[in-house]
Structure formats: structure tokens, C-alpha cells
Chain A
């Protein structure tokens, strides 16, 4: 069965960076991309970006451009999202999700809570 397991909660200072991992299993990693979506406390879903599982090509939301770095490690079927220059507005739960090929996210990780606080 398809599974996406994310790394644990993080607490960071303003200005720092955070790197969240998403280890996948149950499917051929290179056949699908991975999307990253975040949700601030009590707020809605926000699309952060997408990375291809086959060649590492990426697309990201304009508001994160230059601040987010998405990478993959095919050897471990793991995707990573690094967000730099954190502010309190970046405090949120970050989800990874498998892209089924039509810009649809069909399987989701459990979420990683990132807290930015001084």
C-alpha cells in the first residue's frame, strides 16, 4: 500500500531554515511527483510546490520562490522540502502528497508541524 511518512515536529528561530523529509513506499517513486502543501493553525490549505520523482524538476508558488528548495533521493524514495529565512508566518503543518499525474494529490503524509518562535 502507498505510504508517505514524514519527519517529526520542528521548532525553529526566525531567520533559520527547516528541512522536512517525506519517505515513500508502496509504489515506484520515479513514476510520480510529490507536492508540498502547508496549513497554518486554523487556516486553509496552501500549495507550496511540486517536484518530479523522475528528474527532480520543480514548480513552486510565487510567494515561496527563492525561499523553498525541494529535492529527491531516489535511492531511498524520499522527498525533501527546505524552507529558508523563516518567519512566524511560516508556522504551519507541512504535508507531502503524491501527485497522481494530473495535478491531483491522492496519498498524503501525516504532516509535520513546524513552529517558528523566538
Chain B
């Protein structure tokens, strides 16, 4: 698999919730609990927001929630704020020290 499958876009109104999915295979997402999510604003470096499926780094608000079922991981952003508008990328370990990213999802806050 060359890339994990994400929807190209997602949207939600301020205050609402949105879920972004990331679909892989049993060789990546389904095989390991090393799924992470990154937020990227335009012309900025990516920022880690979820690691090991559902863990939040210090400083990331609990509005960001990660989960996994089978070969699909999900990122839910609740209480949408304008600053959440960004690109979101999932990533998974794929064995033998290698990793893979999703194609990215552009989140629009209406």
C-alpha cells in the first residue's frame, strides 16, 4: 500500500463535531497500534495531535479524539473552532521500521 486512504475534504460548523477516517490494511493500521495524526496549517510544519491511536501530546486539547477499528482509524474534532481549519494527515507503522501517511484531509470550519 502506497498511501492510507483519507477523504480529501471534510467540513463542519463552529461548535459542531467532525470525524475524519483513515483506511489502511492489516499490514499497517490493522496490524499495529502505532497510528498518529498530524495537523498542518498552510506553510507550516506538521504538528502531532494524536499518537498511539488515541493519546494526546501535552498541550493538545481534549477536543481531539483518536480511535481505531480494524483497518480504519478515525480522528474526531469536537467543538470546532476556526483555528482547527487545516490539513490533517494520518500515519501508521507498517513494519520493519517503515511508516506510511494518508493522503490528507482538508478540514473547513463553516
Contact = CB atoms under 8 A, between A and B. Distances in A.
15 contacts: A44-B102, A44-B103, A45-B40, A45-B46, A47-B91, A59-B96, A59-B97, A60-B98, A95-B46, A102-B52, A104-B36, A104-B48, A105-B48, A108-B47, A110-B45
B36 A105 contact: yes
A69 to B, nearest CB: 16
Interface residues of B, number: 25
B100 interface: yes
A100 B51 contact: yes
The interface centre, meaning the residue of A50, A58, A105 with most chain B CB atoms within 10 A of its CB, is A105
Interface in A53-110: 57-61, 95, 97, 100, 102-106, 108-110
B45 A109 contact: yes
Contacts of A95: 45-46
Given A44-B89, A45-B89, A103 B45 contact: no
Contacts, number: 65
The 6 closest A-B pairs by CB, nearest first: A59-B97, A44-B104, A104-B51, A108-B45, A103-B93, A45-B101
Interface of B: 3, 34, 36, 38, 40, 45-48, 51-52, 57, 87, 89, 91, 93, 96-104
Interface string A19-51: 000000000000000010100000011110010
Nearest to B48: A106
B18 to A, nearest CB: 19
Given A44-B104, A45-B46, A109-B45, A102 B99 contact: no
A103 B99 CA distance: 7
Contacts of A50: 97-99
A105 B57 CA distance: 11
A95 B48 CA distance: 14
B45 A47 contact: no
A103 B53 CA distance: 12
